[in-house]
Structure 1
Amino acid sequence: MELPPRPTLFDFHGISMIKHFTNNWDNIQSFEARPDDILIATYPKAGTTWVSYILDLLYFGDTTSDCRSSVPLHERVPFLEISVPSRTTGKDLADQLPTAPRLIKTHLPVQLVPKSFWEQCSRIIYVARNAKDSAVSYFHFGRMNHVLPEPEDWSCFLQNFMQGKVVFGSWYQHVTAWWEKKQTYSNLHYMFYEDLIEDSGQEINRLCSFLGLSPTAEQKEHVRDKARFDNMKQNKMTNFSSVQMMNHSVSPFLRKGTIGDWKNHFTVFQNEQFDEDYKNKMKNSALCFRTEI
């Protein structure tokens, strides 16, 4: 299949965006959320698929008799703002979901989320990942995903990342604005990718507590096992291998799922420059990230 040309970035309400996430904007903004909806919000490459799968398993299990087991995760948990030619929009997929609750994902900055989610007091789960690993993962994702602009080389991409000149804008603004929202919106659960890596069992317990779920110890262990990175990487329903716009021979969608891979990419100079810039941009935030465990 011949892939279409890569999109170009433009400024959209102060955020770097591409047409695939703004084409359907009026419909996205008028999306009718429900009180029992669960919105999974992240900056790109922060464990969106991982948390989506954990929630899907917690709510709906994975019994083979269930027709859901043959539906790819990206259709079970639609990507709200996506709109690419010849595919059902994420908004339409969300509208058509037969499940209750509906699990929906987004990468939108907090200020661009459809207002009905706040009005309906929908539950929102935000997942944050440290900036250095986010940058590395996003770089490789751009290399293999033709929906995104060409990332050029690592050095160029890193500069763009630091300046917020990547799709969905500044990592710094994204994680801090969502963190601030948590202080005023009680139905928001803010979690960290690094905590999930370190102790997924504890993080699943916290999720269950937030959502009012009480699975048995056996059920929780089953969810943990199914949602292990290596198992998800092999699972055709979770590894995005059916998405034609992604070239998995360049880099797999589920690449490493680790903490600290940034050390294999940052030069000493890049790391010093990044740390200085980070300190400046995050100086007023109480958020604290771990770049290694």
Structure 2
Amino acid sequence: MTDHEFPDVASMKPCIRPDMFDFEGVFLTRFFTDNWENVKNFQARPDDILIATYPKAGYSAIKNPRTTWVSYILDLLYFGNDENQTSQPIVQRVPFLESCFQEFSTISGTEMADNLPTSPRLIKTHLPVQLVPKSFWEQNSRVVYVARNAKDNAVSYFHFDRMNMVQPEPGDWDSYLDKFMQGQNVFGSWFDHVSGWWQKKRSYPNMLYMFFEDLSEDTGREVNRLCSFLGLSTSVQEKEKITKGVQFDAMKQNTLINHVTIPFLDCKISPFMRKGKVGDWKSHFTVAQNERFDEVYKQKMKNSGVTFRTEI
């Protein structure tokens, strides 16, 4: 086993779900604060690409939920012809910066990022904008943020927390939805997260703000946007190949992407990559829940300036 690999599932002891606590105004667990000094002082580079999302906002990677879709697209755009690179699991190729799963891995997210042999380095995070290491802004690193509508995000995060043994116990759907509306989730409030990054976009030009719904509606169009933002002259044929390869069904079958071997993700409870569709919230929200959610949403997002679609 290399430093980057997780131990065999059969050798694992039962995992005790962690407590969540307020950390600098954001709810986190020890898996994201134990290495905080190294996260805070992480030295970004000018050619780094930081991929940021709220958890479960766009096909994921170890508790790194939903960053995986764009992580995989960028990985293919830059390193798709490198067999040594693409034969490794996505969690090694695009490290999760703030992760520190000491019971499961001997190497932290910051160490994995520091040890990346690639240029540019692709690094992912779920941190709200105010907790991102300052060096990313100082180095003018490129940032890609992916946001997903709140209702689908809540449903996806609920099912993810059910199967993820390093997340707090989610409880039932109704109580979970109340906590989601109150911002009592790991990585804090969805409302604050998407709004904070949207505000940052206005003052930080080296950032692309993307929407899960747009990626779902026309992946090829969004790949073109990424290429334009990054200044890549990828051929039409290669972009078409990548677009086909990153569709949900293809990614769900890819064991280097779908995380079926990660010991603390119990895919018997819920698959890591579950549905990946826009509008799945309709099969979970009751009429009363939807009305309650809409009222909270209207209040919390009234001054945000960012608009989401809940169906396409």
TM interval, short-chain normalised: over 0.9
Give the equivalent residue in structure 1 for 2:134.
115
Matched, 1:85 2:102: yes
Matched, 1:39 2:50: yes
TM-score, normalised to structure 1, is: 0.98
1:285 shift after superposition: 1.5
CA distance in 2, matches of 1:244, 1:159: 29
1:241 shift after superposition: 1.2
TM-score, normalised to structure 2, is: 0.92
Query: Secondary structure at the residue paired with 2:208?
Result: strand
Give the equivalent residue in structure 2 for 1:155.
174
Give the equivalent residue in structure 1 for 2:28.
17
Which residue identity lines up with residue 84 of structure 1 in the other structure? F
- What is the aligned counterpart of 2:279 among 250, 260, 269? 260
1:286 shift after superposition: 1.2
Give the equivalent residue in structure 2 for 1:129.
148
CA distance in 1, matches of 2:37, 2:272: 30
Matched, 1:95 2:114: yes
Give the equivalent residue in structure 2 for 1:67.
84
| Deviates most, 52-61 or 80-89 | 80-89
Mapping of residues 174-213 of structure 1, within 5 Å:
174-213=193-232
Give the equivalent residue in structure 1 for 2:5.
none
Matched, 1:227 2:238: no
Which residue identity lines up with residue 135 of structure 1 in the other structure? A
Q: Which runs of 5+ in 2 are unaligned?
A: 1-11, 59-66
Q: Which runs of 5+ in 1 are unaligned?
A: none
1:62 shift after superposition: 4.5
Identity %: 62
1:149 shift after superposition: 0.5
1:3 shift after superposition: 2.4
1:67 shift after superposition: 1.4
Give the equivalent residue in structure 2 for 1:170.
189
RMSD of aligned C-alpha atoms? 0.8
CA distance in 2, matches of 1:242, 1:28: 26
Distance 1:3 1:62, change over 3 A: farther
Query: Secondary structure at the residue paired with 1:31?
Result: coil
| Number of residue equivalences | 291
